[in-house]
């Protein structure tokens, strides 16, 4: 199950930097996870300073 980034995202980019498969990109108002690329490793969730990432 891919991770989900909530509206609490502050667009710092930490999640994209920690994603080992490049599944996260900057969206218009927050970063977004590509569910087809996400391997559900949790690295992005661990790297988020505001806990804006969760399992769907």
CATH number, residue 25 = 3.30.70.20
Number of domains in the chain: 1
**Length of the chain as a residue count:** 56
4, 56 contact by CB (below 8 A): yes
d(CA 36, CA 50): 25
Tens of pLDDT, residue by residue over 2-53, are 999 999 999 999 999 999 999 999 999 999 999 999 999 999 999 999 999 9
Evaluate whether residue 56 is within a structural domain.
no
Is the model's pLDDT at 56 over the cut of 90?
no
13, 31 contact by CB (below 8 A): yes
- The two tokens of residue 23 are 């599944």
pLDDT at residue number 44: 97
């Amino acid at each position: 199950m891919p991770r989900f980034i909530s509206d609490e995202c502050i667009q710092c980019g930490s999640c994209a930097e920690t994603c080992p498969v490049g599944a996260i990109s900057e969206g218009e108002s927050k970063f977004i996870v590509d569910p087809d690329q996400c391997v559900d490793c949790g690295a992005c969730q661990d790297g988020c300073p505001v806990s804006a990432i969760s399992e769907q």
